[in-house]
Structure 1
């Protein structure tokens, strides 16, 4: 349906619908990120300062991004409600900053963290260095695209059309490379012991899942941007991809604790929880077990839950 005063062929729902979904998805993913931050805060008070700074920095970046997104949403559906010109992405005040620039920065931080983690598992700087430099390069392209998006000259727009697929494909390839390298080195270091093998398998699955999610979002943006030209459907995954990267980072960090005795069946031999002597002999409900991997000290080996002072503690 055309709006009065809008240019020929302008369909309001094709502009407002995807942007409304994009804003809603961004808010929902930020809510998930906030819950993950709370779980991290409660579960890992003894992490390295570097890890804590990384977590809170990423969260603050996403908080700033969601504030800018909310400002744009209020301008579109509040101050300028009914104005078709407000629905054009280039008319949004903060889209250029909250979109590609924040995406480039957050993706670079998260991918660099994965590269550091890869170094801790492999002991080699070759693959982590390549990944880090590639992430920095893609970050530069993203920032350039965001800043240039505010300019309307034909030459700048042509450069954006060329740089956008390079950035999207490059980011996806970095995520796939990270997942592949992590899988290779983790498989190579698996000693075959049952408990350690279970941990390694879980880390491999997590590496593949997180890399696949972010790579899928980048490919989806690329497909919508070039596959459906003239439409803004790409903003649905595009506006929230930085929050997706942040959620995958928090998921990796929070994967160190797991709920024992809950809905998932856990063999009794794998449960290493002792009950303090001053508690009743029966415990109702699940018990949370926490493992720390390499984030609390300099060790690169995943650490198991141990018993200290008669109760389960994290070491």
Structure 2
């Protein structure tokens, strides 16, 4: 029997197989969150620029493809290869959706943030170029490391492959830290006025930027520490597997934050007629909805229109205000 030639299951089987299993489960969770985020984006911002829509749907397509490949690998490792450590040590198709496709997703989203930095302040063009250069370096490292792992069937871990992994993870972390720091400084400078509502909005935006970019940077640094500090193990696989999902959700959280910018309530733009146009209403003036008994059948239920045709200017990207933030308009900022 072929099964008799299989190596026995070692007592530390959990430490060998847990990283891929946890990474796969977290990947499925992040994709579920991303699906909800894309649905919210589709409802709230149908008037966004076509380029922004294409970006969102392209990232969603990449993540859907990544999840399908991850599911195939999970079946290969834990289904048909259950108890087969020889099959478990094979990379199979994981190099394609983790370092290769993951680094491409990170590059696209980091370039998007580089463009936002340039929009906030045109004088920061060289800073945006520097961050974009680091993003390209990390993409080269991720794609190169993935190609070598696939060609060599995950059996050769030479210095070239190690250097490529370092390029990938260090570049990811460095680009995220630079994006968070740059946008924090620029947004803080752009809100130098005594408008309390504007200052509160900027604080929320800055907090969101720091939280999202710090999360992706932390995961990349964690993967780097596990890769360099615990050699000969696969502990680093889990954080590197979930990096693409974190980047994709970072993009959607940033875009969807516009819908909650005013008073923490969701503003949905409807293409179809409003609720009040589809149902009869009384001729008397409408009144706010209350919880009083037997409310009037003519109460008008409507949603606040929220138009964001541009989708990239930060005064429109983060929410409409009664007073624009100085220096947030596209290519018209002055400091």
Shorter-chain TM range is 0.7 to 0.9
Structure 1 unmatched runs, 5+ = 264-274, 307-315
Aligned position for 1:200: 202
Structure 2 unmatched runs, 5+ = 266-275, 278-283, 292-301, 323-335
Classify 1:222/1:183 alpha carbon distance in 2 versus 1 (closer, same or farther; 3 Å): same
Conserved? CA contact 1:22–1:240, under 8 Å: yes
SS at match of 1:257: helix
Aligned position for 2:136: 136
Classify 1:228/1:291 alpha carbon distance in 2 versus 1 (closer, same or farther; 3 Å): farther
State the alpha-carbon separation in 2 of the partners of residues 290 and 78 from structure 1: 50
SS at match of 1:79: coil
Conserved? CA contact 2:138–2:170, under 8 Å: no
Aligned position for 2:288: 281
Classify 1:262/1:138 alpha carbon distance in 2 versus 1 (closer, same or farther; 3 Å): closer
Aligned position for 1:95: 94
State the alpha-carbon separation in 2 of the partners of residues 262 and 304 from structure 1: 13
1:304 and 2:303 equivalent? no
RMSD over aligned Cα, in angstroms?
Answer: 3.0
Compute the TM-score of the two structures, normalised by the length of structure 1.
0.82
Alignment of 1:47-66 (within 5 A): 47-66=48-67
Aligned position for 1:312: none
Aligned position for 2:149: 149
Aligned position for 1:126: 126
SS at match of 1:256: helix
- Measure how far apart 1:283 and its partner are: 5.0
- Measure how far apart 1:300 and its partner are: 5.0
- Measure how far apart 1:123 and its partner are: 1.7
SS at match of 1:230: coil
Classify 1:283/1:148 alpha carbon distance in 2 versus 1 (closer, same or farther; 3 Å): farther
Conserved? CA contact 2:47–2:307, under 8 Å: no
Which stretch of structure 1 is more off in the superposition, 98-107 or 3-12? 3-12
Conserved? CA contact 2:19–2:234, under 8 Å: yes
Aligned position for 1:220: 222
SS at match of 2:260: strand
- Measure how far apart 1:35 and its partner are: 0.5
Compute the TM-score of the two structures, normalised by the length of structure 2.
0.78
State the alpha-carbon separation in 1 of the partners of residues 218 and 105 from structure 2: 17
Classify 1:66/1:290 alpha carbon distance in 2 versus 1 (closer, same or farther; 3 Å): farther
Conserved? CA contact 2:99–2:142, under 8 Å: yes
Q: Which has the larger radius of gyration?
A: 2
1:113 and 2:127 equivalent? no
Higher strand fraction (1 or 2): 1
Conserved? CA contact 1:210–1:248, under 8 Å: yes
- Measure how far apart 1:107 and its partner are: 0.5
- Measure how far apart 1:296 and its partner are: 2.0
- Measure how far apart 1:181 and its partner are: 0.6
Conserved? CA contact 2:16–2:233, under 8 Å: yes
- Measure how far apart 1:204 and its partner are: 1.0
Between Structure 1 and Structure 2, how many residues are aligned? 289
- Measure how far apart 1:131 and its partner are: 1.3
Conserved? CA contact 1:225–1:233, under 8 Å: yes
- Measure how far apart 1:259 and its partner are: 8.1
Conserved? CA contact 1:12–1:84, under 8 Å: no
- Measure how far apart 1:167 and its partner are: 2.1
Give a deviation string over 1:44-88, Cα, whole Å, max 9, x none.
001000100000000000000011000000111211222111221
State the alpha-carbon separation in 1 of the partners of residues 286 and 5 from structure 2: 71
Q: 2:235 aligns with which of 229, 233, 236?
A: 233
Classify 1:290/1:105 alpha carbon distance in 2 versus 1 (closer, same or farther; 3 Å): farther
Classify 1:158/1:283 alpha carbon distance in 2 versus 1 (closer, same or farther; 3 Å): farther
Conserved? CA contact 1:260–1:289, under 8 Å: no
